Each structure stands twice: as structure tokens, then as C-alpha cells.
Structure 1
Amino acid sequence: MSETENEEADAGAPQQSDLDFKINLLFPGVVVRKDLVKAVKGNAIVPSYVLEYLLGQYAASDDEATIQAGIDTVRKILAEHYVHRSESELVKSTIKERGRHRIIDKVTVTLNEKADVYEAEFANLGIKGVIVDSPVIKAHPKLLVGGVWCICDIEYFHTDDQRLVPWILGSIKPIQLSKFDADQYLEARRGFNTEEWIDLLMQSIGFNPEMFSRRGKLFQLVRLIPFVERNYNLVELGPKGTGKSHIFSEFSPHGMLISGGEVTVPKLFVNNSNGRLGLVGYWDVVAFDEFAGKKKRTDKALVDIMKNYMANKSFSRGVETIGAEASMVFVGNTSHTVPYMLKNSDLFDELPEAYHDPAYLDRLHHYIPGWEVDIIRGEMFSAGYGFVVDYIAEVLKSMRSKDYSDRYLQYFTLSPDISTRDRDGVHKTFSGLMKILYPGGEATREELEEILRFAIEGRKRVKDQILRIDSTMAEVKFGYLDNEGTWHPVATLEEDEYPAYYHRVHEDAEPEEAPADADPLGGRAPSGDAAGSDEVAGPEPEPELLHGHLEYQGGQRGVSYDALLVPYLRGASQITIVDPYVRMFHQARNLMELIEGIARRKDPADEVALKLVTVENQDGPEKLQKQYEYLLQIKKSAAVLGIVFDVEFAEPHTIHDRSITTDTGWRILLGRGLDIFQRMSDSPFDLATKYQKYRELKAFGITYLRDFDE
């Protein structure tokens, strides 16, 4: 390659950070640049660990020329050997014509009892009945449950015996690391401080650590505990799009992700008709996706067996009791805000009824508050270096037999109020985080305290919700004592944010009404330079609600949605806005500012259904796509504030008046719709950019009508 070509290659590569340099120096050959997965994936529907296995073979380097050559090699391997379902017949033809061909496919093996042989089925190639020798099954028992991605040599030999399939398994190699040096891993870990190590783990997961707070990083790393801790029971409930199931489907060849609706006793534990073990007998982690849903049908027998397994690490097969060490993970979506759930039910409200049971919930060791986890955006993915996935997966697996749960005892003692089951939950989370962050067992007092508090908080979140469901259970003081005898209480973040709704109240007590200036996060509305507020020196008094018509002149200032519209929308649970012109950026921003105003003035535990009736942008597909993007972003942001935003697109000729109507009887006729402000400068130092009252108005009129009196 010429000097010019080298310069061009270097220009196209991401700038390597000091951390990336250290990662390559201390972990040579087992790290890979994380953006390469997208570069090679194309339309191959394979887990990340399969692609990273190949990248680890050919592109585990920080030399750009080696990386580019490795990418080309991996692309060539995928092109020649990965089986696309749409091309399965072509691949079968290739095997027939050549007599032997290497493929990459997902392989599942079953035992044919009648013929007393093991038979393989290839998911994408679409062939089955391929004979597998017993030694292969003994070496790779996971082939029997759920299927494993493999590199296989398939041969073709046709006979006149119609009972025999022509496909012959020449060789099979599951795609996972065969071995690693544990001592080298621990020694290299000592070359990183805690912050650097956490960032390396974040990049290994595939995220840019600069986009996450310290607490946000810990939430991501807690998702790894089931891989490093035996029989760990984790739950995460939260909004859609936060990547709850990604790690369990893409991160490790030792984890299995299944849909919550597909769970059965035979699939999960044991098939009593043939004695075959289920998933928990073979996999380190069994994760249940889409687990939430109140109306989902559940098998009572499955719930009972699951409760026994989660508590005792065993299940029955006829008269025999079988132990297993698979961790159980339950992830699902919530459809309400945290204050709404705390006011009206509990944080387990979305679970199916059979699982909304204190006996089951008490077996959960940690609750990740999914509402605190950011929705995944494109800029959150890492272009830095991280461990090749199957390498870190083997590292975590190797540490499952270790126990670090007592490492904090040299400095701290758990509250005597904490029960044995609560203590187990705290200990398992603490031990898991220790193995992930401090695999050598060495940590300072401050580092131990950080993860101890985090572990206590996660178990407290579980127990506090159980107390809501079962009022006969006694309150628990969660916290710890240090060696000096000082008591350190631990609270959940939602407990600090929503104290009026978090703690149980007696049925005869009147709930405390949220202050009128409560903000959507549960505190008081910010004043001064707070984001989104129109107040610079304290809140304005609520204006008198008027009936009738008002006119505003062009160039006039001093008007904001908080004064013009929001007072008329307070107390409404359903609001409809009819405005055909919500299509450009500034118009979408106007709508979002109105939503912010509604959120600031409502009880944070209440939900408001806000419907926009508008018209699609007629100025071309690109601008229409932009309009869709704006409205989708508004929908996501509004949901966080407890406002359920929906859009209805109408034909232009069907909208005659721009208006806002509420279920409290108000009808506001908007002459110009929400687009009442003149164009502003883009300067961040212009007060009008932030505060509506400093913006110049367009000339408009507004009419307030009340359909009925309160």
C-alpha cells in the first residue's frame, strides 16, 4: 500500500483514544473495534457474538491495514459460507456438486428414539435428519436445547435407500472460544483504574461510555450479573427501546432468550414423557422477553415450578430432584409513568396476574428500573475497542463458581432488619458486580460501598413493592452500618423523587395533593433559568380564566403558552389539538413546549391523553419523513412526562378550524393554531430562544368557549 493510501485509510479510521491504546496493549488479540460488526453484518441475520468470533480471528488488531484485511476476509467467509434462507437451495446445490462444503448455520439436535440416533436440523439451510455422532453431543450438549450457531462441513452422498438422508455431517464446531488464560485476564485488569475498566466493559457491550452517567453504566453492567453469578434472578421493567433484551440475545453463546409467551414446563425444566431436560439444565442464563402483560395467559403449574426453582435451585423430574444453576431474567415493557404506577398500583403492575404474587416476586434478587435507562440512539453505540464477545463471555462463565459476597464485611454490616431472602439478594448482586468490576477481589472501601449501596437499592425496590401488594408484611429498614457504628440508610431514586406516592398510606388517610407548580419529575417547577420554563424570577400567578375573544398584535411580546393555554388545560385527562400545520421543526417545537407546560401543571402521577389532528406534509417525501421523525420524538418524550401522545392524519379539506378541546368542557379556537411566534435567531444567547415571553408574536386571535360550568 502506498503512503497516500495509508494516509487515506488512517483518515477513514476512528481516532484511537488513550483508553483504546491501553486496551490493545494489555489485551492483544482478544479485543476488536466495535463498529466493525455493522461493517461486516450486511443482511446476515446472525447474533453479534458470531460475527465477533470471526472478527476476533481475523481483525483483532489496532493496525488499520490488518483490520481492513480482516474485514475483507470475514465478508468473504460470510459470503461463501453463511446460509441465507432465501439461498438455501443454491447452497444445497453447491454441496451436491462439490461433494463437501463448509457452512455457518444454527444447528439443533434431537434424539430419534425409534432409530436410536441423534439427528441435526439446520435452521437456514432447511435440512434435517442429519446423523450426529454421540461424542459430538457429549462434547456440546447445548445442541439439544435451543440450537447453537456452528461452523459445519456438510457432505452429500445419495443412495437408493429412501430412508437415508443424503446429507452427512463431516465436522461441526460451535462458534465460541475454546479456552482463555484467566491469570492473564486478572493481571491485565490491574493495568486499568476502575473508571477505565468500566468504560472498557461498556465498549465491550457495544456502547459509548461517554453517553452514560456512572449510574447508567452500572445499570448496563448489572445485566451481565446473570452470566457471572449462578441462580441469579433479575427483573427489568421499563419503556420500550432501552435495549433490555439485547444482551441476552446477542452478547453471549451461554444465554438463551425466549419469548415470555413461549414458556412451557417441558421447554424450561423437564419433559416427563421422555425425561429430557429443558433449558435450565444446559444454559447459564434463560431470559424471558416480553414478559409483561396483565392479560397474558400463564400456566399455574409453570409458575409453581419456577418459584420452587428460583428459591431452591432445583426442580423435580418424577421422583428425582434435579439441581441446575441457570440464572433467570425477566424483561418487559411498562405502559405508564413511575408516579402513575406508584399512585395507582405498584412497579410490578404490568406483570401477568399469576406472577403478580409476593411469593414469586420475593425470589427476585434485583430490579433494574428500566425507566432510568436511556432509550437507545445511534450516537450511543461505540466505535472504540472492547472485548471480543465470546472472550468476555468465557471470562464471566469461568467466574460463576467464585463467591465474593462477603468482601464488604471488613468495613460494613447489613441492617439486622434485613431478612435472609433480602440478604441473599443483596449478596448475589454485590458478588456479581465484584466479579465484573474487581475480578481479582481487590477494591477500596469507597468502591465496595458504591456497589453495596447499589445492590441494596435493587433489592429494596423489589421488597418495597411486595409490601404494597401484601400489606401484612412488616416494613424493612434497608441500609448498613460502618465500622464506626454510623447508620447509612439506602433509598431508591423513585422514593426520593415521589415521596408522596412511594410510601404506603392507610386507607383512611387522604392522599397528599401534588403542589400546583409540581414539575413532571415530581418536585416543584423550576424557576429562573430552568429548561422549558417561561419564568425568569419566580412563577407567575395563574391568570383568570376568560370566556370570549382576544386579539394580539404582530410584534407584541410577553405572551406564552403557560399564560395563554395551559391554565385552560389543567385537570383535563383528554385533550385534542386540531392544527393542520405541525410539520416543520419550529412547529413541532411549539407543540413540545405546550406539552412541557401541560406536564409542569399536572399531578405527576396522572396521565393525560393528548391527540393531535394534523395534515401530512405535502412538500415531498423527505419533508414528510422529517415530519414523522419530529412527531415520533415528541411521542417518546411526552411518554416520559406521563402524556400519551397520539397523531391522526386528516385530509386537508376536512380541517376547517384550528382548536383545542378538553374533556373538562373547554374549547379554544386558535386563529393561527400553535404557530403564533415570529422567527427567532438561532443564537443560544438570545432569551427568546428559551423563553416564549421574549418572542415577538404574529398577529392572531383566540376565542375561549366553555361548554358547561363546573
Structure 2
Amino acid sequence: MTALSDDEQREDKGDAMDDLDQKINNVFAGSVVRKDLVKTVKGNAIVPSYVLEYLLGQYCATDDEATIQAGIDSVRRILADHYVHRNESELVRSTIRERGRHKVIDKISVTLNDRDDVYEASFANLGISRVLVDSSTVKQHPKLLVSGVWCLADVEYDHPLDSKQIPWILGSLKPIQLSNFNVNQYLAARAEFTTEEWVDLLIQSIGFSPELFNRRAKLTQLVRLIPYCERNYNLVELGPKGTGKSHIYSEFSPHGMLISGGEITVPKLFVNNANGRLGLVGYWDTVAFDEFAGKTKKTDKALVDIMKNYMANKTFSRGVETLGAEASMVFVGNTQHTVPHMLKHADLFDELPPSYHDAAFLDRLHHYIPGWEVDIIRGEMFSSGYGFVVDYIAEILKSQRVYDYSDRYKEHFVLSSDISTRDRDGIHKTFSGLMKILYPHGQATAEEIEEILQLAIEGRKRVKDQILRIDKTMSPVRFGYETLEGEWRDVATAEELLYPTIYYRGTDGRAPGGNAAGQGTDAGSSTETQNKQGLAGEPAREDGSRNPELGKMLTFQNGQTGASYEAIFGPYLDGATSVVIEDPYLRASHQMRNLIDFVATWAKRIQPGDEVTLLVKTVQDGDPGYAQKQLGDLLQIKGSVEAAGIKMDVQLVEAAALHDRWVRIDTGWDISLGRGLDIFEKPEKSFELGQSVQEFRKVRSFNVIYQRTSVSKRTS
């Protein structure tokens, strides 16, 4: 089946999304809920989304509107009767006293009273404490001992004769989480969805409308889920405010804990040596540090050192004893400056506190999500479609932590031998996590595996490239991979492609290992010379002109920015006197605009008074009316480019004679284009910078292959 492009998906949204919702309901009956219902029932209840979705999943897991409305009424009634608002705590306590027993929804935490050798519970909103809890309950739900758990609890009241005794009694307690699920059914159901459908289902499960995100943006959102399904995964995301960085870790799963970066201590995070009690890493699958950025924040150096050891070795010490844990670490924070500002003056970790702005600490990170690529959350971005009940997908992801999918790419690709063990571990863990999220049933094509392998490499490369700015003693790495047929493919970060002249400022202006922004460069060349390079990575002549030397391939992913005709073609057009464009699809208005933009790129490089030739080969439109317009547009372009000294000719050929897309330049280069000149996504808004500056436009996935045909000039 041929997958629709993101643009086609948007245009076909109406019925397609209805069909997808129907399919979701049929395949996952009872495990999904309409995501807009959460806001409908939440009201002023300050309760996590997974608590509400647990209730909605009990009463609204259907597509029948009447049943949904009845379920909403039931959930509202339950919240009204049992959820404890802080400002109504006295009223609820009075209700318990008068009735003798009452169910409450509250966040409950437990502590050990070692003086009396009993466990005692505290209710966050109800405002009562020292409520006796039996040992079996604590053993069954150990997270009660760490930061608390949302529960549905029976609370009883029995005033004792002894005034020192507490009148509150915990009758029963049930954490608000899924009671059971069948992983095999989940895996079998995954096979009934195409990859595009599955990705959209997951995006809706997070709470967003998939039609407002391109492919790369969707995958970025899903990378945020990896800590829940991958043990000991270390993730960082820095970016502007309001992009939803912390939402996934505060409301998506009952197995994640979000804490303020400035409020953590060694005993709270790892172990309290005084009483031997484990900290957060011993009980939670994911521990996320919110507001992690901030240069002026005070940090505990001892905590940083313990974190380094834990992130690298999965262990920490309690006195003379070494303990292990599986919790993943996530660090999210806001940036104050733009990406080019950080690259020009410091690095992409510049916002971190000094104790964390350390190469040894940063080298433990497996992936860096470029938060600046994530859109600011807007009201229209929230989904009204069906997605997994949060607690269901949370339990599914948790169940996947025991599996390792990190070697699944080896059937098709081989990582660069230049990649170190620590770099390889980071790539493997990200790849494994994405495989579990996207292809838990193990059925993925080579193209699908390559897509997530590239993303995994890019995220680790982003970490490593910034470390090279901080610690000049670390060795550069060539990030990429080979096909089993021996074809090499570089991987570059989006900002590396967008800002090539400042990306390597901290490494003497050169690309480590010869990646896309510095392919074929001389390690001994100067910063000034190297900063004249563009996307294709060609070395510059002494006079500043460019002279490409090596053939290679560049790969771009959906939604990536940084591509432009200037960067892709410009260096290869220097000195050209003849160019041939072979593209079977030059018909639509935007395709004609692409042709004009290409010619403009060349025209800026032609010396005044020189004349050059351009031959355009394309297939005539099959509709006579459109064919006439097509020819008229091409002739109009032919007339307009004469002023630049370009003599253009057009050849309309049979479809059978023209399949592939090429730009053939008489400087001795053939450039193969997977999509021809049509590489950009359709703009989402009328007024976007990308409409004027190509580097800021998002692209559709494509490859560019440069083939050296002759060093000397040739005729067209």
C-alpha cells in the first residue's frame, strides 16, 4: 500500500479521520476513549488526566453518543461525590463522620512510624494524616511510600476513647490504574493498522490532532514516550516555553514522576542512608526533572556525581552496598535564546546549571529532542478523536521494558565503525524504544527501520556534537550507517543543515568525521575556510568559490528544515555553462515556481555578460487543456530568464522515456533527486518565513545523490 503524504492526509482529513476512529473503536473496544471528554468532565478538579481517563474508560469506552453522554454524567457524579477538593475538605470529613464511611478520590502517601512500628497514610486534599495502613497494602503498592499515588479509598470514622488515637481508619484502597490487560491481543491488533494509522492513533492517545503535525513532528512527540518503555533511558529536551515538554511526564502515566529540578536531594532521588529507604528511582519507571535549565540554579555537586554513575551504570551506593534501579531519567527545560544564537556564542546545552554543563554528565544522555522544532501548544491542536485510555497504553509501555529491540536494524544496516560504545548505546536505546512504540509486533519494512534509525542517530549526534564544543579532548565521530550492499549514508542534525557556518564553531569550524556539513573536508583547514562551506560540505577555494570533490548522498526526513536549492545545488553550479533538468513532473503552479527558484539560484552565480544554456526535459500533461497551460508556463519562464543570460530550451518527451529526476551539470556532476525539485511541504499558513526563505521551510522526505561524471567540463 502506498502511504499518503502529510499534505494529502491533511486534505483528506474529514472522512479518513472518521474511518480511523471507527477502526480504533472496533479493534480496541473498551480500551479507548474520546480525548476531548477529559476537558469536558475535568472542571476545576486538579486531578491528573490518567485518573479521569480511568473513569472515562469505565463508562465512556464506546462510540455511541447516548452512552457517552450517560457515561459523562456518571463520571461527573463520581467526581462530585468522591473527589476531594482542598477547599471542601472539612465538608468531606464531616460526611465521613456522619455516615461512618465514605469513598474518596485523593492522592495518598504512606510513611513508616518506626516508633510505633506502623505504617501511616496521609491524604493530600482531605488533609488527614496518621491513618493506619496494614503492611499487606504497603507491600502490594510500594509506590505509596514514594511521593504518593492517586487512589479510590474507603475511609471510616470511629472516635476512640483514647484521645491520642486517630479516629480515621482506611477500610480499603485501590490505586486508579488498569487491573488487567492482554499484551498478545495488543500486538495482534497492531498488525491491523498501517504505520500511518498507528502513528495517528498514538498521537491521538497523547491528546493531539495528528492532522496538524507532519511526520517528523509526530515522531518527536513519540520519542517522549521512550522512557516509559525503555529501561534506564536518559533523555533531554530543551526548547521554548509552552511546547508541552512536561505534560507527558506529569499526566500521561501513573508510572512517571515529574519533579522540579531544584527540589531534589540525594535521599529523595536515590536512597536515605539514615533509614535505608529507597528514593524515586527505586519505584518509578520514569523520573523527569522539570525546569531543569537555568544557569543561576544552585545544584548539589554530590547529587550530580551520583547521577553520573547511575546514568552510566544503572547503580548507586547505599553505604557499602551497591544497588541497582531501572528508572529512566528525563531532563526538560526552557531555552532563552534562538538556536543560531546558542550555536554562535556557546552550545545547545548553554542553559543548563554549571554543574550539569559538564561533558561527563552530558555524555550519559542518549538522545536530545530539539524542543525548538516543537510547535507552541494551541487550542486547536487538541484531539477530539479516539485514543487509548492513558492507563491502558501506560501499562502496555511498561510491559515492553523487559524486551530489547536494539538489534532489529542489523538485518538491513550497519552502524559506522567510528561510533563509540557510548554513542552506540544511545542510538540502540532510542531505536529500541521507537521499535517498541511503533512496531511492537516486529513487522517493519527496511524503509521504516531506516527512518527511526536515522532519528536515533540524529538525537545522539546532537548530544555528541555539543560535547565536542565543551570538551576539546573528545574525539570527533562520523555519524552514519551503511546498507548491507555497502552504500554509506551520512546523518546530520537539522540545525547542522540549517546553520552550517556556525554549527562547528566550537570545533575549529570542521565537521567531525566528515558528516554532511563537512563531508570531505581537510582536518587541518582553518575555521575561516571551513565556514565558507554549505550543506553539501564542499571545500572552498582560496578565492571563496566552491569546488565539490567527492560524490555522496544526503538524506532528509519529513518535516526537516535546513534544505535549500542554494545549499543543495549552489556549489555545483559555480562555473557551469550548461545544465540539463530531467523531471517528468513539471506541470502544477508550485512546480513551475520550483523551477524558477532553481534558475534564480544559478542566475546569482553567473558573471555579468556571460551566457549559459538550460535544457528542461519533462513529460507533457495528458489533458490537452492542461498541456497547453503547461507549455505556456514553460515558455513564460523561458522568456523571463533571458535577462539573466540563460538561454532556455524545453523538450516535451514521452512518459516512457523519462522516469528518474536528474540535474546534469557540465562541471562534471550528475545530481539525482528522489522528488525532483518538489522537495518542500505545502505551507500550513499564509504568512510564513519559509515562503520567502527556503531554509525555514519543512521538507518531505527525499534523497540527493551526487555522482562525479567528469572532472573537466562536458556539453549537455
Within 5 Å, which residues of 2 pair with 1:195-274? 195-274=196-275
Quick one: which amino acid aligns to residue 494 of structure 2? L
Q: CA deviation digits over 1:446-488, x for unaligned, max 9?
A: 1111111110000000000001111111110000011100101
Counterpart residue number, 1:453: 454
Q: CA deviation digits over 1:362-400, x for unaligned, max 9?
A: 000000000001110011100000000000000000010
CA shift at 1:178, angstroms?
1.6
Cα separation, partners in 2 of 1:14 and 1:161, compared to 1, 3 Å? farther
Q: Distance in 1 between matches of 2:482 and 2:400?
A: 29
Q: CA deviation digits over 1:341-374, x for unaligned, max 9?
A: 0110000000000001110000000000000011
SS state at 2:130 partner:
strand
Are the equivalent residues in 2 in contact too, given 1:269–1:277 (CA < 8 A)? yes
Quick one: which amino acid aligns to residue 60 of structure 2? A
SS state at 1:496 partner:
helix
SS state at 1:75 partner:
helix
SS state at 1:127 partner:
coil
Dislocated runs of 4+, deviation >2 Å:
13-16, 504-515, 520-526, 528-531
- Greater shift, 14-23 or 365-374, is seen at 14-23
Aligned residues: 531
Q: Distance in 1 between matches of 2:271 and 2:563?
A: 47
SS state at 2:402 partner:
coil
Unaligned stretches of 5+ residues in structure 2: 1-13, 510-525, 535-560, 568-588, 605-685, 697-716
Quick check: 1:362 aligned with 2:366? no
Within 5 Å, which residues of 2 pair with 1:17-166? 17-166=18-167
Counterpart residue number, 2:683: none
Within 5 Å, which residues of 2 pair with 1:342-421? 342-421=343-422
Are the equivalent residues in 1 in contact too, given 2:497–2:563 (CA < 8 A)? no
Quick one: which amino acid aligns to residue 173 of structure 2? I
Counterpart residue number, 1:493: 494
Q: Distance in 1 between matches of 2:471 and 2:124?
A: 46
CA shift at 1:179, angstroms?
1.4
Quick one: which amino acid aligns to residue 135 of structure 2? S
Counterpart residue number, 2:442: 441
Counterpart residue number, 1:629: none
SS state at 2:181 partner:
coil
CA shift at 1:514, angstroms?
11
CA shift at 1:229, angstroms?
0.3
TM-score, normalisation: structure 1? 0.71
Are the equivalent residues in 1 in contact too, given 2:205–2:387 (CA < 8 A)? yes
Quick check: 1:506 aligned with 2:518? no
Q: Distance in 2 between matches of 1:146 and 1:171?
A: 20
Q: CA deviation digits over 1:538-594, x for unaligned, max 9?
A: 89x9xxxxxxxxxxxxxxxxxxxxxxxxxxxxxxxxxxxxxxxxxxxxxxxxxx99x
CA shift at 1:521, angstroms?
7.4
Are the equivalent residues in 2 in contact too, given 1:497–1:523 (CA < 8 A)? no
Q: Distance in 2 between matches of 1:225 and 1:514?
A: 36
Within 5 Å, which residues of 2 pair with 1:687-706? none
CA shift at 1:509, angstroms?
3.9
CA shift at 1:95, angstroms?
0.2
Counterpart residue number, 1:194: 195
Q: CA deviation digits over 1:58-108, x for unaligned, max 9?
A: 110011111000000000000000000000000000000000000000001
Q: Distance in 2 between matches of 1:478 and 1:486?
A: 14
Q: Distance in 2 between matches of 1:260 and 1:203?
A: 29
Q: Distance in 1 between matches of 2:207 and 2:62?
A: 17
TM-score, normalisation: structure 2? 0.71
Q: CA deviation digits over 1:266-288, x for unaligned, max 9?
A: 00000111111000000000000
Quick one: which amino acid aligns to residue 36 of structure 1? L
RMSD over aligned Cα, in angstroms? 2.9
Quick one: which amino acid aligns to residue 232 of structure 2? N
Identity %: 72
Quick check: 1:311 aligned with 2:312? yes
Quick one: which amino acid aligns to residue 506 of structure 1? D
CA shift at 1:525, angstroms?
10
Quick one: which amino acid aligns to residue 151 of structure 2? C
Q: CA deviation digits over 1:3-57, x for unaligned, max 9?
A: xxxxxxxxxx999700000000000000000000000000000000000000001
Quick one: which amino acid aligns to residue 418 of structure 1? I
Q: Distance in 1 between matches of 2:344 and 2:58?
A: 53
Q: Distance in 1 between matches of 2:155 and 2:21?
A: 40
Q: Distance in 2 between matches of 1:422 and 1:596?
A: 35
Are the equivalent residues in 1 in contact too, given 2:495–2:562 (CA < 8 A)? no
Cα separation, partners in 2 of 1:116 and 1:37, compared to 1, 3 Å? same
Counterpart residue number, 1:587: none
Q: Distance in 2 between matches of 1:243 and 1:192?
A: 27
SS state at 1:332 partner:
strand
Cα separation, partners in 2 of 1:158 and 1:278, compared to 1, 3 Å? same
Q: Distance in 1 between matches of 2:563 and 2:388?
A: 40
SS state at 1:150 partner:
strand
Within 5 Å, which residues of 2 pair with 1:503-652? 503-504=504-505, 505-506=507-508, 509-510=527-528, 512=531
Quick one: which amino acid aligns to residue 240 of structure 1? K
Quick one: which amino acid aligns to residue 24 of structure 1? N
Cα separation, partners in 2 of 1:14 and 1:102, compared to 1, 3 Å? farther
Are the equivalent residues in 1 in contact too, given 2:367–2:460 (CA < 8 A)? yes
Q: Distance in 2 between matches of 1:314 and 1:111?
A: 25
CA shift at 1:161, angstroms?
1.1
Counterpart residue number, 1:424: 425
Within 5 Å, which residues of 2 pair with 1:466-485? 466-485=467-486
SS state at 1:215 partner:
helix
Counterpart residue number, 2:333: 332
Q: Distance in 2 between matches of 1:475 and 1:168?
A: 63
Q: Distance in 2 between matches of 1:213 and 1:239?
A: 19
Counterpart residue number, 1:277: 278
Are the equivalent residues in 2 in contact too, given 1:107–1:147 (CA < 8 A)? yes
Q: Distance in 1 between matches of 2:441 and 2:600?
A: 53
Are the equivalent residues in 2 in contact too, given 1:430–1:451 (CA < 8 A)? yes
Are the equivalent residues in 2 in contact too, given 1:341–1:347 (CA < 8 A)? yes
CA shift at 1:120, angstroms?
0.4
Unaligned stretches of 5+ residues in structure 1: 1-12, 542-591, 605-710
Are the equivalent residues in 2 in contact too, given 1:222–1:433 (CA < 8 A)? yes
Counterpart residue number, 1:550: none
Q: CA deviation digits over 1:120-147, x for unaligned, max 9?
A: 0000000000000000000000000011
CA shift at 1:298, angstroms?
0.4
Are the equivalent residues in 1 in contact too, given 2:494–2:562 (CA < 8 A)? no
